[in-house]
Amino acid sequence: MLADRQIEVWKEEVFGPAVASEILLDTHRILEREKSASWLVSGGRDGEKVARSIASSPLLEGLCLSSLHILFADERFSHDPSLLNVSQLSPFLDVLKGWGMPSENIHPFPQLGSAEEGAKAYEEEIIDLGFSKGCSVSWLSCGPDGHVASLFPGKTHESGLTTWIDDSPKPPASRMSVSMGFIQSSLEVFLVAAQKEKREIVEKAVRIWGDPLIPATFCQGREKSAWRFSSLTLAQTF
């Protein structure tokens, strides 16, 4: 059973801090009842916006980062480090490590012989870590075409915890990703969008459910489905 989505729209200037505060407060509460917690994080401009806001939030202080693990929603298959989500999010990850997160709690996709090999190895790692039943909090940015992670409209993906493609509509062609099933197994799923060019797809997505041509419409968690947008992507604001 998945939670009904809750849609909130924030003015652009407060979007990042508002979403970051909600994620951090929820994580504090989860760690009060659980021995450990995990974040499934997304790259892209909106994912980075949330990450920067978390890194600068006073709510980060006091969070037991030694009990928090970071997993990645997707990754490009590339041996050029500058292209990777883990590299683009490195300033955020460095802040977390500075506050006490062990380096071994950060789990990037491996770059092996192919995207398929990397995705399968990442699935094994998720299982070994004990997260096969889902992460605590996932935050995913939505692309202008409605894709999330590397789950693109109209593409057929492998079942299981992870998947891969070799014909991505966005370069590079080979990408590794967690599956939508794994995303939906999260306790909480945040779908975030804050860019003007995403307005058309967000306006479509909020009116429908489970459209294979808009993968974002499947973004729900078991306990919370938080759709958080800036005023650039939806008209109503708080």
Q: What is the pLDDT of residues 38-71, one digit of tens each?
A: 999 998 999 999 999 999 999 999 999 999 999 9
pLDDT tier at 222, thresholds 50, 70, 90 = very high
Residue among 207, 69, 46 nearest 135 (CA): 69
Q: Give a yes or no: residue 236 inside a domain.
A: no
Residue among 167, 150, 155, 141 nearest 229 (CA): 141
Spatial separation of the C-alpha atoms in residues 126 and 73, rounded to whole Å: 12
pLDDT digits (tens, 9 = 90+) for 184-214: 999 999 999 999 999 999 999 999 999 999 9
pLDDT of 87 > 60? The answer is yes
Q: Give a yes or no: residue 64 inside a domain.
A: yes
Cis omega (within 30 of 0) on the bond before 212? no
pLDDT at 140: 97
Q: Give a yes or no: residue 146 inside a domain.
A: yes
Q: Give a yes or no: residue 33 inside a domain.
A: yes
Domain CATH for 66: 3.40.50.1360
Q: What is the pTM of this model?
A: 0.96
Which amino acid makes up residue 68? L
Spatial separation of the C-alpha atoms in residues 158 and 172, rounded to whole Å: 19
Structural domains of the chain, count = 1
pLDDT at 226: 98
Q: Give a yes or no: residue 235 inside a domain.
A: no
In sequence order, what are the residues at sequence separation of 6 or more whose Cβ sits closer than 8 angstroms to the Cβ of residue 35? 67
pLDDT of 238 > 60? The answer is no
pLDDT at 237: 62
Q: Give a yes or no: residue 237 inside a domain.
A: no
**Residue with the larger pLDDT of the pair 159 and 30:** 30
pLDDT digits (tens, 9 = 90+) for 136-152: 999 999 999 999 999 99
Q: Give a yes or no: residue 238 inside a domain.
A: no
pLDDT tier at 217, thresholds 50, 70, 90 = very high
pLDDT digits (tens, 9 = 90+) for 8-40: 999 999 999 999 999 999 999 999 999 999 999
The secondary structure of 63-108, three-state, reads CCHHHEEEEECEEECCCCHHHCHHHHCHHHHHHHHHCCCCHHHEEC
pLDDT digits (tens, 9 = 90+) for 88-133: 999 999 999 999 999 999 999 999 999 999 999 999 999 999 999 9
pLDDT at 156: 73
Quick one: CA dihedral 146, 192, 167, 134, positive or negative?
negative
pLDDT tier at 84, thresholds 50, 70, 90 = very high
Neighbours of 72 (CB within 10 A): 23
Q: Give a yes or no: residue 76 inside a domain.
A: yes
Q: What is the residue range of 159's domain?
A: 5-230
What's the helix, strand, coil split of the chain in %, to 5?
40, 20, 40
